[in-house]
Amino acid sequence: MRFLIEPFLEFPESLRVDCEHFSSIRKTWVRLAVEAEDKGRVYGRGGRNIQAIRMVLTALAKASSETVYLDIYNDSESDESYQEREPRETRETFNHRSPGRYSEQTRPSRSSPSKPRLNRRYEQ
């Protein structure tokens, strides 16, 4: 498990791995603890890294007719250094859409719906 996760980590020495295997029900729980700064790297952009890791674990589990679960936690030391974000309402947001060229007052209005235009060569 370590060889899959450590390449993503800035602090590989902080990685903690805990595995619990229940042979009677053929299930395995894998729990990882990483620093808060490394959690984003483990997940990757859009969750790509963690999805690939889960696919590898699932393929291995299917080969032995088992089920595997993966949980990722923050390391306990990093929880103390966590800085709280300011509320969403007060944060500056950059993903709002620009109003465009026209506002509601200056938008041109159509008196009647226009007919669909065809190629001028075929209009007659």
Q: Is residue 117 part of a domain?
A: no
First to last CA, the chain: 72
Q: Is residue 31 part of a domain?
A: yes
**Domain with 27 in it: what CATH number?**
3.30.300.20
pTM exceeds cut of 0.85: no
Please say if the pLDDT value at position 97 is more than 50: no
Task: Please give the residue that has the higher pLDDT: either 31 or 120.
Answer: 31
Render pLDDT for 5-51 as a digit per residue (tens, 0 to 9).
Answer: 999 999 899 899 999 999 899 999 999 999 988 999 999 999 999 99
Query: What range defines the domain where residue 28 resides?
Result: 1-73
Q: Please give the tally of structural domains in the chain.
A: 1
Please say if the pLDDT value at position 108 is more than 80: no
Please say if the pLDDT value at position 113 is more than 90: no
pLDDT at 48: 94
Give the per-residue SS3 of 23-89. CCCCEEEEEEEECHHHHHHHHCHHHHHHHHHHHHHHHHHHHCCCEEEEEEEECHHHHHCCCCCCCCC
Q: Is residue 13 part of a domain?
A: yes
Q: Is residue 62 part of a domain?
A: yes
The side-by-side arrangement of strands in the sheet containing 16-22 is: 16-22, 27-34, 67-74
Q: Is residue 57 part of a domain?
A: yes
Q: Is residue 115 part of a domain?
A: no
The whole-angstrom separation of Cα 25 and Cα 59 is 18
Q: Is residue 97 part of a domain?
A: no
Half-sphere exposure of 71 (CA within 13 A, CB side): 10
Render pLDDT for 52-83 as a digit per residue (tens, 0 to 9).
Answer: 999 999 999 999 999 999 999 887 544 444 44
Q: Is residue 38 part of a domain?
A: yes
H or E stretch at 20:
strand 16-22
